[in-house]
């Protein structure tokens, strides 16, 4: 079973990313369980989305305490409870203008992969909306869901700027190649 935590701040799109990722895994014929925690439910406060993915029905009904992958929308959230859910083999994809190597110097012992999703999103006409770039990066880092499934889902479910979202997802997917060799 693959267990994923998505962490962001209210208004960044972490919940939307969790829902899109769940739909993508389901479209790839996987069984999915998705749930969220909103905390203070205000813009800027930490919010979490959790996913479990398996080939069999997911019957486990508790918080994810040990993640296989973490997608972090804001590097300032890489602390405490979130890092406590990471094992040495947990892949952590984080939105950061800093390089993977720079992040590893301050957070030694973690498989960190930095993606400048904000730069990718801006280059693709999405402004500060980083969901699609980060979803592509996570898909590449963990090897699932397939990029084609994510791209089709973004074409179908993005409320606007569908092609820009697909392009950002594609760019995020390929942005992590070098970091994967280092991680």
Q: Give the structural domain span for 112.
A: 2-182
Q: What is the pTM of this model?
A: 0.93
d(CA 18, CA 13) in angstroms, rounded, equals 9
Mean residue pLDDT of the chain comes to 92
Residue 56 has pLDDT above 80, yes or no: yes
CATH number at residue 170: 3.40.920.10
Count up the domains in the chain and report the number: 1
pLDDT of residue 39: 64
Residues 6+ apart with CB under 8 A from 50: 3, 4, 5, 6, 18, 34, 35, 36, 37, 63, 64
Between 36 and 69, where is the model more confident? 69
pLDDT of residue 42: 67
pLDDT tens column, 138-154: 999 999 999 999 999 99
User: Which stretches does DSSP call E strand in the chain?
Assistant: 2-9, 31-37, 46-54, 67-72, 86-95, 111-115
Residue 40 has pLDDT above 70, yes or no: no
């Amino acid at each position: 079973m693959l267990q994923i935590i998505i962490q962001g701040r209210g208004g960044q799109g972490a919940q939307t990313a969790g829902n899109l990722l769940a739909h993508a895994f389901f479209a790839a014929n996987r069984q999915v369980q998705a749930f969220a925690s909103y905390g203070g439910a205000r813009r800027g406060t930490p919010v979490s989305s959790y996913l479990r993915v398996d080939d069999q029905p997911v019957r486990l009904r508790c918080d994810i305490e040990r993640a296989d992958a973490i997608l972090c929308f804001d590097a300032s959230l890489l602390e405490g409870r979130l890092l406590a859910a990471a094992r040495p083999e947990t892949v952590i994809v984080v939105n950061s203008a800093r390089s993977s190597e720079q992040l590893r110097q301050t957070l030694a012992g973690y498989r960190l992969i930095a993606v400048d999703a904000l730069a990718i999103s801006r280059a693709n006409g999405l402004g500060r909306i980083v969901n699609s770039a980060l979803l592509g990066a996570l898909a590449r880092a963990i090897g699932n869901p397939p990029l084609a499934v994510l791209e089709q889902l973004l074409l179908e479910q993005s409320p606007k700027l569908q092609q820009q979202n697909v392009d950002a997802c594609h760019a995020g997917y390929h942005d992590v190649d070098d970091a994967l060799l280092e991680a």
